[in-house]
Protein backbone atom coordinates (compact mmCIF):
# COMPACT_ATOMS: atom_id res chain seq x y z
CA UNK A 1 0.00 0.00 0.00
CA UNK A 2 1.04 3.55 -0.59
CA UNK A 3 2.63 5.28 2.38
CA UNK A 4 0.36 7.75 4.16
CA UNK A 5 1.70 11.31 4.18
CA UNK A 6 0.52 13.93 6.67
CA UNK A 7 0.86 17.60 5.73
CA UNK A 8 0.36 20.07 8.58
CA UNK A 9 0.02 23.81 8.03
CA UNK A 10 0.35 26.67 10.45
CA UNK A 11 1.52 30.27 10.71
CA UNK A 12 4.84 32.00 11.19
CA UNK A 13 5.45 34.90 13.60
CA UNK A 14 3.94 37.38 11.10
CA UNK A 15 0.75 35.35 10.48
CA UNK A 16 1.93 34.10 7.08
CA UNK A 17 0.81 30.56 6.23
CA UNK A 18 3.59 27.94 6.33
CA UNK A 19 4.03 24.17 6.28
CA UNK A 20 4.89 22.94 9.76
CA UNK A 21 5.54 19.32 8.81
CA UNK A 22 5.30 16.96 5.87
CA UNK A 23 5.84 13.24 6.36
CA UNK A 24 4.44 10.02 7.72
CA UNK A 25 2.10 10.29 10.71
CA UNK A 26 4.16 9.96 13.90
CA UNK A 27 1.88 7.36 15.49
CA UNK A 28 1.12 3.91 14.11
CA UNK A 29 -0.55 1.23 16.24
CA UNK A 30 -0.65 -2.43 15.22
CA UNK A 31 -3.55 -4.52 16.49
CA UNK A 32 -4.84 -8.06 15.92
CA UNK A 33 -1.42 -9.59 15.25
CA UNK A 34 -0.58 -6.82 12.77
CA UNK A 35 -3.78 -7.38 10.78
CA UNK A 36 -5.14 -3.89 11.58
CA UNK A 37 -3.00 -0.76 11.58
CA UNK A 38 -4.22 2.52 13.06
CA UNK A 39 -2.46 5.48 11.41
CA UNK A 40 -3.24 8.32 13.82
CA UNK A 41 -3.29 11.52 11.77
CA UNK A 42 -4.61 14.32 14.03
CA UNK A 43 -7.00 15.04 16.87
CA UNK A 44 -8.48 18.00 18.66
CA UNK A 45 -9.63 18.12 22.26
CA UNK A 46 -12.21 20.87 22.34
CA UNK A 47 -14.95 22.49 20.31
CA UNK A 48 -14.45 24.91 18.74
CA UNK A 49 -10.90 23.73 18.09
CA UNK A 50 -8.28 26.33 18.93
CA UNK A 51 -6.15 27.35 15.95
CA UNK A 52 -2.75 28.49 17.16
CA UNK A 53 0.24 29.39 14.93
CA UNK A 54 1.94 26.09 15.84
CA UNK A 55 1.24 23.17 18.16
CA UNK A 56 3.19 23.05 21.42
CA UNK A 57 3.04 19.23 21.40
CA UNK A 58 2.16 16.49 18.93
CA UNK A 59 -1.68 16.20 19.06
CA UNK A 60 -1.56 12.42 18.68
CA UNK A 61 0.22 11.71 21.95
CA UNK A 62 -2.82 9.81 23.27
CA UNK A 63 -1.41 6.66 24.81
CA UNK A 64 -2.67 4.08 25.07
CA UNK A 65 -4.60 4.15 21.80
CA UNK A 66 -8.27 4.95 22.40
CA UNK A 67 -10.98 4.63 19.76
CA UNK A 68 -13.22 7.66 20.50
CA UNK A 69 -11.99 11.25 20.66
CA UNK A 70 -11.76 13.18 23.89
CA UNK A 71 -14.90 14.97 25.11
CA UNK A 72 -15.76 17.74 22.59
CA UNK A 73 -12.94 16.48 20.38
CA UNK A 74 -12.30 15.01 16.95
CA UNK A 75 -9.94 12.42 15.45
CA UNK A 76 -8.87 11.62 11.94
CA UNK A 77 -7.20 8.25 11.42
CA UNK A 78 -6.65 5.77 8.63
CA UNK A 79 -7.07 2.03 9.20
CA UNK A 80 -5.52 -0.71 7.11
CA UNK A 81 -7.63 -3.84 7.67
CA UNK A 82 -6.05 -7.05 6.42
CA UNK A 83 -7.80 -10.29 5.48
CA UNK A 84 -8.01 -12.61 8.50
CA UNK A 85 -8.10 -9.82 11.07
CA UNK A 86 -11.08 -11.31 12.91
CA UNK A 87 -9.11 -14.43 13.87
CA UNK A 88 -7.22 -12.28 16.36
CA UNK A 89 -10.14 -10.62 18.14
CA UNK A 90 -11.31 -12.20 21.37
CA UNK A 91 -14.69 -13.95 21.25
CA UNK A 92 -17.46 -12.22 23.15
CA UNK A 93 -19.33 -13.70 26.09
CA UNK A 94 -22.64 -12.35 24.76
CA UNK A 95 -22.36 -14.18 21.43
CA UNK A 96 -22.22 -11.00 19.34
CA UNK A 97 -19.76 -10.55 16.50
CA UNK A 98 -16.30 -10.21 18.13
CA UNK A 99 -15.67 -6.81 16.53
CA UNK A 100 -19.06 -5.31 17.42
CA UNK A 101 -18.71 -2.00 19.27
CA UNK A 102 -20.43 1.34 19.83
CA UNK A 103 -19.03 4.80 20.47
CA UNK A 104 -20.99 7.94 21.30
CA UNK A 105 -19.67 9.65 18.17
CA UNK A 106 -20.53 10.66 14.64
CA UNK A 107 -18.02 8.92 12.36
CA UNK A 108 -17.42 9.68 8.71
CA UNK A 109 -15.79 6.65 7.09
CA UNK A 110 -14.39 6.95 3.56
CA UNK A 111 -13.28 3.70 1.93
CA UNK A 112 -10.10 4.41 -0.02
CA UNK A 113 -8.95 0.94 -1.16
CA UNK A 114 -10.20 -2.64 -1.07
CA UNK A 115 -13.63 -3.71 0.14
CA UNK A 116 -15.18 -3.92 3.59
CA UNK A 117 -18.45 -5.19 4.97
CA UNK A 118 -20.09 -3.09 7.68
CA UNK A 119 -22.30 -5.09 10.04
CA UNK A 120 -25.05 -3.64 12.23
CA UNK A 121 -27.25 -5.50 14.73
CA UNK A 122 -29.46 -7.08 12.06
CA UNK A 123 -28.03 -6.21 8.63
CA UNK A 124 -24.87 -5.52 6.66
CA UNK A 125 -23.66 -3.60 3.60
CA UNK A 126 -20.64 -4.08 1.35
CA UNK A 127 -18.51 -0.98 0.84
CA UNK A 128 -16.39 -0.22 -2.22
CA UNK A 129 -13.72 2.45 -2.84
CA UNK A 130 -15.32 5.88 -2.80
CA UNK A 131 -18.21 4.83 -0.54
CA UNK A 132 -18.76 7.03 2.52
CA UNK A 133 -20.56 5.85 5.64
CA UNK A 134 -21.96 8.19 8.25
CA UNK A 135 -21.93 6.06 11.39
CA UNK A 136 -24.16 7.64 14.04
CA UNK A 137 -23.47 5.93 17.35
CA UNK A 138 -24.67 2.54 16.11
CA UNK A 139 -23.48 -0.85 17.27
CA UNK A 140 -21.28 -1.99 14.38
CA UNK A 141 -18.36 -4.12 13.20
CA UNK A 142 -16.09 -4.32 10.16
CA UNK A 143 -15.03 -7.35 8.12
CA UNK A 144 -12.50 -7.65 5.34
CA UNK A 145 -13.78 -10.76 3.56
CA UNK A 146 -11.10 -10.75 0.87
CA UNK A 147 -8.47 -13.47 0.84
CA UNK A 148 -5.68 -11.17 -0.35
CA UNK A 149 -6.57 -7.46 -0.54
CA UNK A 150 -5.97 -5.05 2.33
CA UNK A 151 -8.76 -2.50 2.83
CA UNK A 152 -7.88 1.10 3.69
CA UNK A 153 -10.50 3.36 5.24
CA UNK A 154 -10.19 6.92 6.57
CA UNK A 155 -12.28 7.88 9.60
CA UNK A 156 -13.15 11.25 11.04
CA UNK A 157 -14.69 10.80 14.51
CA UNK A 158 -16.55 13.62 16.24
CA UNK A 159 -17.55 13.45 19.90
CA UNK A 160 -21.32 13.23 20.25
CA UNK A 161 -24.11 12.69 22.74
CA UNK A 162 -27.17 10.48 22.41
CA UNK A 163 -30.26 12.70 22.61
CA UNK A 164 -34.05 12.53 22.87
CA UNK A 165 -35.70 9.10 23.11
CA UNK A 166 -32.50 7.42 21.90
CA UNK A 167 -30.64 8.65 25.00
CA UNK A 168 -33.16 6.78 27.18
CA UNK A 169 -33.08 3.65 25.02
CA UNK A 170 -29.29 3.47 25.13
CA UNK A 171 -28.91 4.42 28.79
CA UNK A 172 -26.43 1.93 30.21
CA UNK A 173 -25.35 0.67 26.76
CA UNK A 174 -21.82 -0.67 26.65
CA UNK A 175 -19.68 1.98 24.94
CA UNK A 176 -16.16 1.49 23.65
CA UNK A 177 -13.65 3.68 25.41
CA UNK A 178 -10.54 1.83 24.25
CA UNK A 179 -9.37 -0.62 21.66
CA UNK A 180 -11.15 -3.75 20.49
CA UNK A 181 -10.31 -6.64 22.82
CA UNK A 182 -7.79 -9.10 21.52
CA UNK A 183 -7.30 -12.76 22.33
CA UNK A 184 -5.49 -13.20 25.62
CA UNK A 185 -2.51 -14.87 23.90
CA UNK A 186 -1.96 -11.72 21.81
CA UNK A 187 -2.16 -9.09 24.55
CA UNK A 188 1.56 -8.32 24.49
CA UNK A 189 1.34 -7.07 20.91
Q: What are the extents of the domains in the chain?
A: 28-186
146 touches 80 (CB < 8 A)? no
- Give me the pLDDT at residue 63, please: 65
What's the rounded mean pLDDT across residues 81-108?
91
* pTM exceeds 0.75, yes or no: yes
Indicate whether 13 pLDDT > 80.
yes
- Cα 17 to Cα 20, 49, 52: the distances in Å are 9, 18, 12
Q: Alpha-carbon distance 187 to 31, whole Å?
A: 9
- The model's pLDDT over 156-181, given as tens digits with 9 standing for 90+, comes to 999 999 999 999 999 988 888 665 44
Residue range 28-186, CATH number: 2.60.120.10
Mean pLDDT score, 62-91: 88
pLDDT of residue 185 exceeding 50: no
| pLDDT value, residue 186 | 35
The residue with greater pLDDT, 58 or 162, is 162
Phi, then psi, of 88 in degrees rounded to 5: -110, 10
Amino acid sequence: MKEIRRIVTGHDETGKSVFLSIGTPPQLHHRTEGKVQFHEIWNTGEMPAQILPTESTEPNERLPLRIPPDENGTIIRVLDIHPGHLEHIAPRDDGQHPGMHRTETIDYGILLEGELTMLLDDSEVDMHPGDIVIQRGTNHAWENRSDTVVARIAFILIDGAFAGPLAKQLQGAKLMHGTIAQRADLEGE
